[in-house]
Amino acid sequence: MTHKIPDDIKKEIEKLVADLNYHNYRYYVLDSPEISDAEYDRLFRRLKDLEDKHGLILPDSPTQRVGAPALERFEKVRHTEPMLSLDNAFSYDEIREFDKRVKKLLGGDSDVEYTIEPKYDGLAVELTYHKGFLLRASTRGDGYEGEDVTQNIRTIRSVPLRIEDKQIPEEIDIRGEVYMDLEEFEKLNKERQKKGEPLFANPRNAAAGSVRQLDPSVTISRKLYLVCYGTGALRGVRFESQSKFTEWLREARFPVPAKIIMATGIDGAIDAIKQIEDSRGGFSFETDGAVVKVNDFALQQKLGVKTREPRWAVAYKFQAHQGTTKILDIQGSVGRTGVITPFAIFQPVQIGGVTVSRSTLHNWDEMERKDIRIGDTVIVERAGDVIPHVIEVIKDKRTGKERPFPLPEKCPECGSKVIRDEGGVAVRCDSLHCPAQIQEKIIHFASRGGLDIEGLGEKNVELLYSKGLISHFEDIYKLKKEQLLLLPRFAEKSAQNLIDAIERSKQTNMAKFLFAIGILHVGEYAAKLLARNFRKLEDLYHIKPERLLQIRQLGDKIASSISSFFSDEKNIRTLESLKTLGMQISNPDFVASKKSKLPLEGLAFVITGTLPKPRKEVEDLIESHGGHASSAVSASTSYLVAGDNPGSKLKKAKDLGIKTVSYKELLSLIEGKRNPGLFD
């Protein structure tokens, strides 16, 4: 039975949610904040404290934008109405032809009223709202079926979790574009370049890659924006035109295009396109054109659609900044996460007033798709006037002397054997001793989720590495206080604190240690699974993938990565060296030798509604008894744990035939008190 929440607490939570959502709108949509960041943070912390203490979380609470667990895969979503693509026009003559077709289909010669707006170069999405609340978000996909990316879209601050307007539809599908602005794009690529990770070719790829992350924490770490410009299925409200719909979007706190121009007649529409193209350099986002739409929705209905495109809209595409040059060489660059990225060295060429002499080639799949070779003459484009990339090889200019750059077998930095992500495009060096990535590995090793060595963060790792005091994991445990005192930023107390933290980290458990050493694809959950199934670290040495695949929750990709890591003699020597330096690894999670397995072993749970305990506490309870807590209901879900005011997950669970249990019944399942009619 849930505890009663005092009315004054309910009211305070409701007010905090309303206030914080308003300030989100001011900051992320209007770019006109009314309070300081510190004041926002204070209100947010107060709301979080109240939610954790009383277990009352409103559907539109800003705290629900973060913290969802990673998905195993995206579920498919069928669009109620198809999400069509737009026909393209590359000249003003083609725009005039579009106008002629519109008039012919409408059966008249009167000037048509159009709206003209920038074409955002992002990822098309559809947001479904039911009775004012965000129910689901999905990608365009093939136009008829997309992927459910609700968790990730909720992390975008400009996305309303609740419609704030007097006129709230019973249900509405709002179409828009998720994008990354140019400043954030440059910042992200600089960070990736610093870490040696493959660069994103353009802001669209960055936005699409961010939205399609299975782990929402990655999405929220990248600043994304939403712009809304269309509607799909609609019940409970009616709009007369595109301009009226846009007006409603504004009032309901949805972000709309940065520039919207109304024009009557095609000459006015072309003038509007020119205005947007002239303003192109002043936009904070990348735009590759302008969209022209018939304003009147009744006329749109009359014009209808072709197989894949509406007859009432067209996209005018701007000319890209391009140049032609020759690839002098192709080399591989090893990043701080071990990813090896091919890059081209060009004969210098001027593009958009900037000299371009090199460009990332992203990965070997991309090179093969474009058939890029050393010696090729290529067309290079600066996407968004920022990052250069190869658009196309001019094969007519080949002489026969061009040569491909093959997939490397060894790391160009350390000579270790490289591995390729199964089913992926990344090629990696997984050696613990690779100099190109050792700093990143040490930072991860010492992080809070790893061995939690307080005082050994990024700046101090960089300092110690630059001074030659650490070049691999073992060196951490050889550091002396006297060495630290000779460095800037270290005084008597801070040096002693770091030495003490290092000493404490020697006492750890196997799950934390396996996560800390940074095995590819092995997160906290996989590390815990390994600890449950193997008594000691040595049991993993030279392990075969087939043995790992006996653990149901481990897939081929993770098993292959673990086997590869523990088959590397250099890695094994490092692990043994850490033990000789005093590392003691206990394993309280090991359960394989016990007569009975954990009560929730192999079961997947999803939580919905308000439970007697905070959601995180219930998820930890499930995980500690062998189960897996997921955020999305799917065919692989074993049980739905439903509390008060369950959301749409309850209906989905019923549709899929998934059994629903209460919190009390979950406890009974953990205690082994099975009800045959309920659990079997």
In sequence order, what DSSP letters do the residues of 487-510 get, joined into one string?
Answer: STT--HHHHHHHHHHHHHTTEEEH
Sorting pLDDT into bands at 50, 70 and 90, what band is 595? very low
| Mean pLDDT for the stretch of residues 109-136 | 93
Buried b (16+ CB within 10 A) or exposed e, 47-61: bbebbeebbbbbebb
Q: Give the pLDDT band (50/70/90) at residue 594.
A: very low
Determine contact, residues 372/361, Cβ cutoff 8 Å: yes
Q: How far is CA 655 from CA 19, 71, 635, 658, in A?
A: 36, 20, 10, 8
* 177-203: average pLDDT: 80
pLDDT over threshold 80, residue 601: no
Per-residue model confidence (pLDDT) at position 341: 86
Structure tokens at 486: 């000779």
Domains, in order of start, for the chain = 7-65 (1.10.287.610), 88-317 (3.30.470.30), 322-397 (2.40.50.140), 438-586 (1.10.150.20), 604-679 (3.40.50.10190)
Provide the pLDDT for residue 66.
Answer: 58
C-alpha 498/C-alpha 512 separation (Å) is 20
- Vertex 123: Cα angle to 339 and 281 (nearest 5): 95
pLDDT of residue 317: 87
- Average pLDDT for 212-234: 87
pLDDT at 102: 96
Please report the pLDDT score of residue 427 as a whole number: 84
pLDDT tier at 67, thresholds 50, 70, 90: very low
Binding residues for Zn(2+) are: 411, 414, 429, 434
């799909």: which residue's tokens? 232
The confidence score (pLDDT) of residue 416 equals 84
Label residue 546 by pLDDT band (50, 70, 90): confident
Mean pLDDT for the chain?
85
pLDDT at 96 exceeding the cut of 90: yes
pLDDT in tens, 290-334: 999 999 999 999 999 886 789 999 999 887 677 899 999 999 888
Give the pLDDT confidence score for residue 352 in this predicted structure: 63
Flag whether pLDDT at 22 surpasses 50.
yes
pLDDT-derived band at 174 (thresholds 50, 70, 90) equals: very high
- Catalytic member of 10, 48, 76, 119: 119
Residue 119 designated active-site: yes
Distance CA 669, CA 24 (A): 41
Mean pLDDT of 442-469: 89
Percent of the chain with pLDDT over 90: 39
Q: Which whole-number Å values give the CA distances from 282 to 204, 286, 492, in the listed order? A: 18, 10, 52
| Residue 570 pLDDT level (bands cut at 50, 70, 90) | confident
For 1-15, 248-262, 386-400, 520-534, which range has the lowest pLDDT when averaged over its residues? 1-15
Q: Which of 2-6, 472-476, 525-529, 537-541 has the lowest mean pLDDT?
A: 2-6
Q: Residue-wise over 156-193: b if at least 16 C-beta within 10 A, else e?
A: bbbbbbbbbbeebbebbbbbbbbbbbbebbeebbeebb
Structure-block tokens of residue 440:
């990143």
Helix (H, G, I), strand (E, B) or coil at 37: helix
* Contact call for residues 121 and 189 (beta carbons, < 8 A): no
CA separation for the pair 362, 170 (Å, rounded): 45
Q: What is the predicted pLDDT for the residue at 56?
A: 86
**In this model, does residue 549 exceed pLDDT 50?**
yes
Amino acid 634: pLDDT: 77
**pLDDT at res. 307:** 67
Residue 175 has pLDDT above 90, yes or no: yes
Between 219 and 310, the more confident residue is: 310
CA distance 641 to 650: 9
Q: What is the Cα–Cα distance from 672 to 600, expressed in whole angstroms?
A: 9
Residues in the chain: 680
Q: Which residue has the higher pLDDT, 36 or 677?
A: 36
Binding residues for NAD(+), by number, are 37-41, 85-86, 117, 140, 177, 293, 317
514 phi/psi in degrees, rounded to 5: -65, -35
Confidence (pLDDT) at 31:
60
**Confidence at residue 516, expressed as pLDDT on a 0 to 100 scale:** 93
CA distance 611 to 54: 10
Q: How many Å apart are CA 679 and CA 386, to the nearest integer?
A: 57
Mean pLDDT of 63-91: 77
User: Is residue 261 predicted with pLDDT exceeding 80?
Assistant: yes
Tokens representing 549 are 């695949």
Q: Cα–Cα distance between 677 and 458 in angstroms, integer?
A: 54
Query: Is residue 423 scored above 60 in pLDDT?
Result: no
Average the pLDDT over 237-265 and give the result.
95
**pLDDT at residue 449, rounded to an integer:** 82
**pLDDT exceeds 50 at position 226:** yes
Q: Which residue has the higher pLDDT, 677 or 479?
A: 479
What is the average per-residue pLDDT within 8-23? 87
> Can you list the alpha helix ranges (DSSP code H) found in 230-386?
242-251, 266-278, 297-303, 364-370
Whole-number pLDDT of residue 590:
85
Neighbours of 678 (CB within 10 A): 14
Provide the annotated binding site. Answer: 37-41, 85-86, 117, 140, 177, 293, 317, 411, 414, 429, 434
The tens digit of pLDDT for each residue in 462-479 reads: 899 889 999 888 999 999
Note the pLDDT of residue 469. Answer: 93
